[in-house]
Amino acid sequence: MALESGASSSELWPELHLRDWRDTCDTLHMWTQIVGKIRTALTPPINHWWHSTLYITPRGLTTSSIPDNMGGLFDLEFDFIDDRLRAHSGSGAVHSIPLSARPVCDFYGEVMRMLRSMGIEVRIWTMPQEFPDPIPFEKDETHASYDPEYVRRFHRVLTSVSRVLAEFRSGFIGKCSPVHFFWGSFDLAITRFSGRLAPERPDADPVTREAYSHECSSAGWWPGGGPVDDAAFYAYTAPAPEGYGTARVLPPGARFLPDFGEFVLMYDDVRRSSDPEQVLMEFLQTTYEAGANLGNWDRSALERPEGATLRKTA
């Protein structure tokens, strides 16, 4: 994969340890949940909650176009270069609020006031999701950190990972998600599907039941948390076929976490390698093949004959 003009590998794959920006990460997580819930509330549903996700832009994260209350469209974009949250309307108007160290409750209130000034009325469930000890947005004075340097590193990682995920996606012609960012779990992901229904999960919550209604193979990156307390790549197949956890995958540093049910490769192992893009592609491809082969996916019907390859400059 071609490096950006003048960009070194260390710039494209910067150091990013969760311990160094945990407070900022948690605050940004809450902010993306607010924006993501706005998109979810106003956007017509799409299978597997794809109407809720955010997308990588050259400057940050965007909702893409959202229907407003007046027959038009608007969007919300985190600009991590200028440290602003911008709202663009169909009239050409641009509204924005600063991204700076401030409590979640203040950010939530200002976002809602900005939307009302645009004539957009929306109500969201203000309890954070997939987050330990959640505090309603309007009451959250705990999370109030913003370190621009680490937010920009985070964005650079998302940009580099999204490019490799897009290349990986190109080798699959079956049903496949976009490369998108889930604000609940705070991860960048792509998901391939076998085309078959998955066994029902009668005890699952509505989000999980919808997300895993069909057999899938998913992979992505997140800044860390839970059983892996640092930035890492992950991959899993759902439902996991017998023998999946003991399958041989690459690179050698990848490992299966039985309690997590996923393969994990630490971001630092990729970042420090001589060819981060190729190492990540090996992880994506071999973890997918492990699940697809053991799960008897019809790979000849789902994949391009040439597969997915990294495009490099001479």
Is 9 part of a structural domain of the chain? Answer: no
What's the structural domain count of the chain? 2
Strand 187-197 and strand 180-182: the pairing is: antiparallel
The CA–CA distances, whole Å, from 89 to 36, 61, 110, 123 equal: 17, 17, 17, 19
> Hey, what are 111's tokens?
């976002």
Residue closest to 110 by CA, chosen among 138, 77, 68: 138
User: Are 40 and 118 members of one domain?
Assistant: yes
Is 307 part of a structural domain of the chain? Answer: no
The pLDDT tens digits along the chain (314 residues) read: 444 445 778 899 999 999 999 999 999 999 999 999 999 999 999 999 999 999 999 999 999 999 998 899 999 999 999 999 999 998 888 999 999 999 999 999 999 999 999 999 999 999 999 999 999 999 999 999 999 999 999 999 999 999 999 999 999 999 999 999 999 999 999 999 999 999 988 888 988 999 999 999 999 999 998 889 999 999 999 999 999 999 999 999 999 999 999 999 999 999 999 999 999 999 999 999 999 999 999 999 999 998 766 665 43
pLDDT at 227: 86
Which DSSP helix (H) or strand (E) runs through 248? none
Long-range (24+ apart) CB contacts under 8 A made by 127-133 are 128/29, 128/30, 128/33, 129/33, 129/184, 129/207, 130/184, 130/185, 130/186, 131/26, 131/29, 131/30, 131/33
User: Are 117 and 225 members of one domain?
Assistant: no
Length of the chain: 314
- Rounded CA-CA distance 67/72 in Å is 6
Is 10 part of a structural domain of the chain? Answer: no
CA–centroid distance for 248 within its chain: 26
Domain end position, chosen among 111, 139, 167: 139
pLDDT at 314: 36
**Structural domain that includes position 176:** 148-302
- Rounded CA-CA distance 159/179 in Å is 11
Report pTM: 0.94
> Hey, what are 91's tokens?
């009239």
Write the single-letter amino acid at 76: L
User: Are 86 and 230 members of one domain?
Assistant: no
Is 80 part of a structural domain of the chain? Answer: yes
pLDDT at 311: 67
User: Are 98 and 172 members of one domain?
Assistant: no
CB-based contacts of 230, cutoff 8 Å, min separation 6: 17, 18, 19, 224, 266, 267, 268
What tens digit of pLDDT does each residue of 252-279 get? 999 999 999 999 999 999 999 999 999 9
Domain end position, chosen among 104, 139, 174: 139
Q: Please give the sequence-ordered ranges of beta strands (E in DSSP) within the chain, or none if there are none.
A: 55-56, 60-62, 66-67, 73-79, 84-89, 94-98, 180-182, 187-197, 214-222, 232-238, 255-257, 262-266
